[in-house]
Amino acid sequence: MIKKATFLCLALACLWHLSPVAYGQQQHTDALPNILLILSDDHSYPYLSCYGNEALKTPNLDGLASEGLLFTNAYTTASQCVPSRASILSGRNVIDIKMTRFSAPLPREVKTIPDYLRAQGYYTGICGRHYHLDGSGRMPQETADAFEKYKLVTFPDRVDYLKVGSDAEVIEQFREFLDQAPAEKPFFMWMNYSDPHRPFTAKAFEPDPGQLTVPSGMPDHIEVRKDLAGHFGEINRLDVHIGQVLEELEKRSLKPNTMVIFMGDNGAALLRGKGTLYDLGIHVPLILRYPGRIDAGKTTGALVSGIDVLPTILEAAGLSPDKEVSGKSFLHVLQPHTFKAHEYIFAQRGPHGSGLPLQSAYFDLIRTVFDHHYKLIYHANWQVPYAPVDFNSSKMWHELALLHDQGQLPVQFSRAFFLFHDLCLSSTTAKTIRMNCTILLTMMNMPGLPISSKQDFMNG
């Protein structure tokens, strides 16, 4: 009897170990990393102290970079938060997913990072500032009624946890999320911060405006210095808040098995930044920390795009993206024999808000394609006067406009901000532009431009 009972116990134990739950699914789930995606708002490269900017004090993000990988050529697919975030979450370009309009909700049929991960057994969440992909946080009642009637708000159905709040509330929301996460499940959290979005309110964190080095693309004016100091103050405050989150991971012993990605959602609301496709509008900071998988303290100059975040996260979770995804995982960026970077990066600019197209802050139609050496910007409505997004009424902008009107603004800045002028191109430059036009029009398939117009544009 004892031998029979012993045999039965051994048989049951073998069957349990061979079952999918005990051997396959459960073991696979235990090996999956937690994933934390952190987005700052309106934040350009190189505005962290780990990029060498001595006016900034960002020890927590510097520490994250020292324990992971720092990217110097990361770009977003748009210079506005809604389309850019839509690309980051979907791994697809803005035009492909019909998200060129600033207040558009992400179509329900477009799969996002939490959709993939939730199906893989992840506990998923969103916290912090409004995430922007369910329409505007402030909409008239008629619009709200239409959103409800046609079920256009989708993210409450995509995640297990969703709360919005101020930057100061993020840490408590994150703690609540972790407390609610089932112990047997890995987690994915998309964490959003408002800093360094305007208005600039971090006075206690601001550096001395007089001690700043003004970037070469900006006039050295006291109001420009004050504006930069305000922006830098918000980045310094952002670092404090992110430090709280990183500390929480350590307290809960989650750091060794948590992949952290930090990225700016688009460029800074500074001169020729947000709302433009110049470098400051789409070139953003990016840091990846993945203990045990990414060598610490490395830097890469590989060209990466916002569309690459989704495939990177999915690869870490043992998943493959759908065929519609155009991004590439950058998990193996330090292994050149297996990683092939983008040859070209694409980005676009569309309407911003609901104002009439009297100036570019509200409405612009621009496309760009570029590589490590050349950049083409195709501006469909260049006749519309330039106006900066989010600070058109600021004292700094009015001061510069007054100096321009009085003929006292240096000519290079008058041309950059207030005038249109022709370019005199060499034959080599013209040939390069034509080549990039071919790439741009073919890859982005610009709507509304007839074939004859494309040919005329190509032939100059």
Looking at residue 26, its pLDDT comes to: 34
**Tens digit of each residue's pLDDT, the chain (460 residues):** 444 444 444 444 444 343 333 323 333 345 899 999 999 999 999 999 999 999 999 999 999 999 999 999 999 999 999 999 999 999 999 999 999 988 899 999 999 999 999 999 999 999 999 999 999 878 889 999 999 999 999 999 999 999 999 999 999 999 999 999 999 999 999 999 999 999 999 999 999 999 999 999 999 999 999 999 999 999 999 999 999 999 999 999 999 999 999 999 999 999 999 999 999 999 999 999 999 999 999 999 999 999 999 999 999 999 999 999 999 999 999 987 788 889 999 999 999 877 778 889 999 999 999 999 999 999 998 888 889 999 999 999 999 999 999 999 999 999 999 875 444 444 555 556 556 665 655 554 444 333 333 333 333 3
What is the structure's pLDDT at 137? 77
The pTM assigned to this predicted structure is: 0.87
Exposure letters 149-161 (e unless 16+ CB within 10 A, then b): eeebbbbeebbbb
Is 423 inside a domain boundary? no
With residue 44 as reference, give the H or E element that holds it.
none
Strand partners, 39: 192, 263
Q: Which residues pair with 349 in a beta bridge?
A: 366
Question: What is the token pair recorded at 103?
Answer: 């207040």
CA distance 306 to 82: 13
Of the candidates 320, 291, 310, 242, which has an alpha carbon nearest to the alpha carbon of residue 34? 291
In a domain, 448, yes or no: no
Does 254 map to a domain?
yes
Q: DSSP assignment, residue 447?
A: T
DSSP string, 160-216: SEE----GGGHHHHHHHHHHHS-TTS-EEEEEE--TTSSSP--GGGPPPGGG----T
Q: At what angle do helices 81-90 and 309-316 cross, to 10 degrees?
A: 30
| Of 121, 76, 108, residue with least CA distance to 308 | 76
- What pLDDT score does 101 carry? 87
Nearest one of 201, 44, 41, 37 to 127, comparing CA atoms: 37
CA atoms lying within 13 Å on the CB side of residue 239: 23
Orientation of helix 222-251 relative to helix 59-66, angle to 10°:
60
Residue 266 DSSP one-character state: S
Q: Around Cβ 201, how many Cβ atoms within 10 Å?
A: 14
Cα–Cα distance, 327 to 310 (Å, whole number): 7
Q: What is the CATH number of the domain that holds 327?
A: 3.40.720.10
Burial class (CB in 10 A: 0-12, 13-18, 19+), 86: buried
- CA-based nearest residue to 51, from 299, 302, 304: 299
Distance CA 294, CA 376 (A): 33
In a domain, 376, yes or no: no
Q: Cis link prior to 219 (omega < 30° from 0)? A: no
Smallest CA-to-CA distance from 298 within 46, 65, 73 is with: 65
Residue-number span of the structural domain to which 233 is assigned: 25-347
- Residue 449: inside a domain: no
Tokens of 365: 């139609």
What value, to the nearest 5°, has the Cα angle with vertex 258 and ends 75 and 285?
20
Which amino acid, 51? Y
Sequential DSSP letters for 71-124 = EEEEE-SBSSHHHHHHHHHHTS-TTTTT--STTPBPPTTS--HHHHHHHTT-EE
Q: In total, how many domains does the chain have?
A: 1
Q: What is the rounded CA–CA span in Å between residue 349 and residue 277?
A: 7
Helix spans in 252-336 (H): 279-282, 309-316
In a domain, 363, yes or no: no
Three-state secondary-structure class, residue 150 = coil
Asked, for residue 33, whether it belongs to a domain, the answer is yes
Q: Are 312 and 304 in contact (CB under 8 A)?
A: no
Mapping DSSP to helix (H, G, I), strand (E, B) and coil, where does residue 374 land?
A: coil
Q: Given the structure tokens 């789409």, which residue do they identify? A: 282
299 touches 74 (CB < 8 A): no
Answer yes or no: is 456 within a domain. no
* DSSP states along 259-286: EEEEEESS--SSTT-TTS-SHHHHEEEE
DSSP alpha helices (H): ranges in 221-336? 222-251, 279-282, 309-316
The pLDDT value recorded for residue 28 is: 39
